[in-house]
Amino acid sequence: MLVTSSKGDRWGLPKGWPKRHEPFAAAAMREAVEEAGVIGTVYPPPLGEFTYRKTMRKGYVVRSHVFVFALQVLETLDMWREDKRRSRKWVPLGDAAGIVGDRDVARLLTEIAAGDTLHTVLAELDAARAAAPDIQPNSC
């Protein structure tokens, strides 16, 4: 799933700052809920990472390093925290690189699409869910 930036001018991945002492995987889940309105299970080892330059509200630029996690979406909310500020859309992974507005994100998505890692991760999540069907989606 891709989301628009907070300004609505380009497509990208949900991302954000971890809270104090918050694991990166938990921050990824929280940001996915807030920015994209999706709930699911995060697979903790990152699929990859990229760096980008974020312009802050006061105008200064911060170099940010982003870890990208697999999220098996179990529910898509009709209303979510940032639904008035962002649009979202499902796109095939192979098409996502041509849509996102950042070339480093595009490069990472191309690498993920070309490899087997994501399919392996999702198969492991499916197997874990089948082994413990009563476990609810995690918050991390």
CATH number of 2-131: 3.90.79.10
pLDDT bucket at 140, cuts 50 / 70 / 90: very low
Instruction: State pTM to two decimals.
Output: 0.84
Q: Name the residue ranges covered by the structural domains of the chain.
A: 2-131
Q: How far is CA 78 from CA 31, 37, 82, 103, in A?
A: 16, 7, 11, 30
Report how far residue 60's alpha carbon sits from residue 54's, in angstroms, rounded to the nearest whole number.
Answer: 8
Is residue 128 pLDDT above 60, yes or no? yes
Residue 137, CA distances (Å) to 24, 43, 132, 140 in order = 17, 11, 11, 9
